[in-house]
Every structure is written in structure tokens, then in C-alpha cells.
Amino acid sequence: MAVSDHVVSFVDGRVRLRHPALKDAAIAGIVTGVLSETKGILSAGVNPRLGSLLITYAPERLSKEQLLELAEQGLKLLPALQHGEEARHGSGVCFGKMLFDCLTSRNLTRLMSRFMLGTLGASLAGAVLGRSPLHVLAGGLFTVASLQHILAHRKTL
């Protein structure tokens, strides 16, 4: 799905998106944390009941095109959920489980390792290409994935 499928409203300085993955508190926290560190984003808030994300931004610092590109990159990283469906077994996505179980599951660890590699590459590409929003978003997601990796493997480290 394209990011335009998730845009509910978009006016200069304000955009609202909906995605079922935003109903998960952990994902909502990661998304708002990364967005709050992005230049040009004034605020980002999630309504977990609706799976809705409201972003206010400075149009003079961040164009609609840049914001949509940033959203497109972020959308690729969100788990694909189908209308209220719980996580599919074996997918590595741990919705509805205890946080500790989620962070230490083998499937999630494998997924996170691939995710770390992808976000590191995206962050480096954003830095080389001079795309600061992509660099910051991917770098933030890489940091979160690294923390999960350290937590999951803390006994062997």
C-alpha cells in the first residue's frame, strides 16, 4: 500500500495518517520518538484507539514532498496488519504478547537483525544523499533495533 492510502487529511503544516500498527503502544512510542527528533516536525501524537497519527510540521522547513517521502519510508517499516487481526504466528511481530516475550523471541530477533541492517543502510544512504529526514528516521529506528538486540542478547554479551 502507498502512503496516500493511509493519509486521512493533509494541509500545509498538518497531516493525519491511520495505520492499524499504530494501535500498538510500543510502535506508537517508536514512531513519535523518531518524529520528535526530525527537523521540521513540530509535534507528533498517536491516538492508539484509532491507530491515528497527527503530525504538525513547519512547511517552510519541510516540504509536502519531503514529508511524504519520509512517511513512505516509515510505512515500509510498519508491520502489515489486516483489519483488527492479531499478529500471524511465525511472522516475528509480537502484538498481544508480553513485552519481555516479544523482545526475546527468536523470530523477532531474526527480523530485527534484518531490520537493523536495512535501517543502517538507509541511514547511510540518507547521509550520503543529503536527505536529512531519511537519515534521522532510519538512524533512530536503527538505534531502537540495536537496543532490542542488546536486551535480547544481554546474557551472552
Task: Please state the domain extents for the chain.
Answer: 3-152
| Adjacency order of strands within the sheet including 52-57 | 7-11, 14-18, 52-57, 41-47
Q: What contacts 24+ positions apart, CB below 8 Å, involve 63-66?
A: 64/10, 64/12, 66/40, 66/133
Q: How many CB atoms within 10 Å of residue 88?
A: 13
Question: In terms of CATH architecture, what is 3-152?
Answer: 2-Layer Sandwich (3.30)
One-letter amino acid identity for 58? A
Which of 120, 22, 138, 135 shows the shortest CA–CA distance to 79?
A: 22
- For the stretch 104-135, pLDDT in tens is 455 556 666 777 888 888 888 888 888 888 88
What are 2-56's pLDDT values in tens digits?
Answer: 777 888 888 889 999 888 888 888 888 888 888 888 888 899 899 988 889 999 9
> The whole model's pTM is what?
0.51
